[in-house]
């Protein structure tokens, strides 16, 4: 990816957000056709700790400042941005072993 950046001066980073406080994450209903499925979605959604939009934006700034092109970052649970590129590479490698 760095050779592409050297040529184009464009960096590509993937940002994976955890639950971020917003209108959609504060919903109490999604009007699903299946009430049991909707209850499951809401229970799962509300089980995660939400971060503020400001904290999420700070994480994006941190990833942009620190990240090389082609890296993936996790911004979740009000923690500093974390480079998870190697975690994803290992995960996809493990999946390929199963195919």
pLDDT (average), residues 15-20:
96
Q: Evaluate if residue 47 carries a pLDDT over 90.
A: yes
DSSP string computed for 7-23: HH-----EEEE--B-ST
Q: Evaluate if residue 1 carries a pLDDT over 80.
A: no
For 46, the domain range is: 2-97
Domain count, the chain: 1
Find where tokens 């490698």 sit. Answer: 93
- Determine the pLDDT at residue 25: 85
């Amino acid at each position: 990816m760095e050779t592409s950046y050297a040529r184009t001066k464009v960096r590509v980073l993937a940002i994976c957000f955890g639950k971020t406080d917003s209108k959609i994450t504060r919903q109490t209903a999604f009007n699903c056709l299946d009430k049991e499925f909707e209850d499951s979605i809401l229970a799962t959604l509300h089980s995660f700790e939400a971060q503020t939009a400001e904290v999420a934006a700070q994480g994006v700034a941190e990833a942009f400042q620190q990240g090389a092109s082609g890296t993936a970052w996790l911004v979740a649970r009000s923690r500093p941005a974390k480079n998870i590129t190697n975690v994803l590479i290992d995960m996809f490698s493990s999946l390929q072993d199963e195919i």
